[in-house]
Amino acid sequence: MMKNAMRKTILLILSLVLCVTAMTSCVDPDSDPSRPIKLKISFYKGGFGDAWLKAVAAEFEAVHTDVKVVLEGKSDMDGINRDRLNMSTPPSQLGDIVSVINPVYFAEYVRNKKLVDLTDLYDEEVENGKTMNDYVDPDFLKFVTVDEKHYGIPWEGAVTGFVYNVKMFELYGWEVPETMGDFFNLCTEIKADTQGTVAPLVYAGAIGGYFINILYAWMSQYEGEEGTDEFFALENPEVYQKEGRLKAYQQMGKIMGDKTNILEGSKGFDHLGAQREFIQGKAAMTVGGTWIETEMKSYLKDVPGFEMALFPAPSVTDDKLDKNGNPIRTVSSGNCDLLAIAEASKNKEIAKEFLKFMNRQEMLNTYTLNTGGNARPFTYEKTDWSDTQLTKFAKSSIEIWQKADNIFPYSTASIYLEGQVSFFPAEQGQPAVYMQNASSLNDAAVRAQYLYTRDYTLAQNAFIKHNG
């Protein structure tokens, strides 16, 4: 009898243990009030790295002690986020805050109700009585606005142009060019002064060499503000016949058509390869933007004393006048990168708090200090950066940002948002890859005309199809 009683007692205890274990295993650990709330940010980790976001996250956690910010940064995150959002991934795997790089993806997310409407957030106080509406660049705001509602916030804008070797320029007394005429004269000086041992320019031919940003700048310079706005409105295919587009192609052709201007091998370089050749002193300039210093940080450690700076795309006309006779604007073409909140997020309110927090002036400065002088598309109260440890490159980037007309290539036209037409449709949207195969200056001129004409033809076809 005693053995039976003991056996029953043991069985009862085991049953209770199993029940408790089963109940415990069914509890969501994230719902435990004793655990911090996990705010996941799934973001594109590219040239600007993630030091800025780690710094902002640490500051946010110091204020919000019940929150743990989980960072997930990858170079292919734009595609990963798209797959997750479209497949209705469980919230535990989805980022609460997601980055969006491709504007067509963004339009798709809004149509499919995958992103949170952040319109009210723009009216909330960020600090000192100021709201995001008070700080944000109005040109960028157009990019995140659909039917008068805002579905994201600006993440980064970037400054683009030509990066040059400062000490080499100082050694030979070369001047930073103000016009493209000056630029080609500089190329001649570089070849003569170095007896051909240094090429004027190296670029990342395998990925288009970042020339798209320069093309935007030249086009916008020549067309002026009104003409630029008309083009990005994409109301009809005739905007592809704007003369500024042809002039931009022609300038690119003049650079690439003369092979003595280009470091041998540029056609096959990716961005890192081209930037390494530039830092090694094999070329005096490269095409790029504010990301280079951060992107090449580890490599620059092995080249002590190297100094570089950035100058904007030189004037597309030698008289520095646009098509209307007005002084040419300094133009920098940036990126339309944004951060948004996934509709499926369980932590929408905390995510909103983080987005507000990262737009405080101190956090804007933190971003710029951690990304080699890159600025976010907001009004900075800090305008003098001479008291910082920023490099000459970073300070040159900030100076361009402050003085230039910073444009963000984007259109709210449905034909663009639905991916039926791009801004440079010829040759699969890779005009620089096509142009770099020019055998001579004459061939480059023919190719420039072809790109200009082909763009218009493809745009006509796209509009016919779109309008049904």
Domains of the chain, residue spans: 31-157+335-406, 160-334+408-466
Question: In this structure, are residues 217 and 332 in contact, taking their beta carbons and an 8 Å threshold?
Answer: yes
Question: In this structure, are residues 218 and 244 in contact, taking their beta carbons and an 8 Å threshold?
Answer: yes
- pTM beyond 0.85: the answer is yes
Closest-CA residue to 146 (of 344, 355, 340, 394): 340
pLDDT for residue 31: 55
Question: In this structure, are residues 105 and 336 in contact, taking their beta carbons and an 8 Å threshold?
Answer: no
Q: Which two tokens stand for residue 18?
A: 């199993």
CA–CA separation, 448 and 201 (whole Å):
20
pLDDT for residue 139: 80
pLDDT for residue 2: 45
Closest-CA residue to 433 (of 126, 277, 215): 215
pLDDT for residue 90: 80
pLDDT for residue 73: 95
Q: Which residues of the chain have pLDDT under 50?
A: 1-3, 17, 19-29
Task: Name the CATH superfamily for 31-157+335-406.
Answer: Periplasmic binding protein-like II (3.40.190.10)
CA–CA separation, 423 and 242 (whole Å):
12
pLDDT for residue 138: 85
- The alpha carbon torsion through 128, 133, 137, 141 (nearest 10 deg) reads 150
pLDDT for residue 451: 98
Instruction: Count H helices and E strands in the chain, helices first.
Output: 20, 15
Place of tokens 């996941």: 40
pLDDT for residue 32: 60
pLDDT for residue 1: 47
281-320: per-residue pLDDT in tens? 999 999 999 999 999 999 999 999 999 999 999 999 999 9
pLDDT for residue 12: 54
b/e map 54-68, b = 16+ CB within 10 Å: eebbebbeeebeebe
Helix (H) or strand (E) holding 363: helix 361-369
CA–CA separation, 38 and 66 (whole Å):
9
What's the CATH number of domain 160-334+408-466, 2.170.150.70, 3.10.180.10, 3.40.190.10, 1.20.1090.10?
A: 3.40.190.10
Alpha helices, DSSP H, located in 125-242? 132-135, 138-141, 166-172, 180-193, 211-233
CA–CA separation, 187 and 447 (whole Å):
22
Question: In this structure, are residues 202 and 274 in contact, taking their beta carbons and an 8 Å threshold?
Answer: yes
Q: Is-same-fold flag (31-157+335-406; 160-334+408-466)? A: yes
Radius of gyration of the chain (CA): 26
pLDDT for residue 293: 92
CA–CA separation, 47 and 295 (whole Å):
4
pLDDT for residue 5: 53
